[in-house]
Amino acid sequence: MVRTDRRGQPLMVRGQAIEAVRESWLVQDRWWTEHPLSRRYWELVSIAGADLVVFHDLHGGGWFIQR
C-alpha cells in the first residue's frame, strides 16, 4: 500500500506518487499498557493534489491510512 525510501519517507501511497510531505509527527504513548502506541504519521500531498494522512505502526509494523 505504501512504498517508502530508505529513510522511511513515503514515496507512493495506494499507487499514487507523493508530491510533497506537509508534515510528519510521532506518537508514542500508552507504553505502560498491553497495547502500546508507536506511530509515525505523515501528512502527504499526492501528485493528484490529494491530502493524505498515513501512519506507520512502529510496533506492529504495517501502514494505515488515517485520511
> Which residues form the interface with other proteins (CB under 8 A)?
22-29, 31-34, 41, 43
Pull the grid cell for residue 8: 522511511
If DSSP codes are grouped into helix, strand and coil, which group holds residue 63? strand
Q: 47 near 16, Cβ under 8 Å?
A: yes
Residue with smaller CB distance to other proteins, 15 or 23: 23
d(CA 58, CA 28): 9
CB of residue 2 vs other proteins: minimum separation in angstroms? 19
Question: What pairs with residue 11 in β-bridges?
Answer: none
Residue with smaller CB distance to other proteins, 31 or 51: 31
CB of residue 15 vs other proteins: minimum separation in angstroms? 26
CB of residue 31 vs other proteins: minimum separation in angstroms? 6
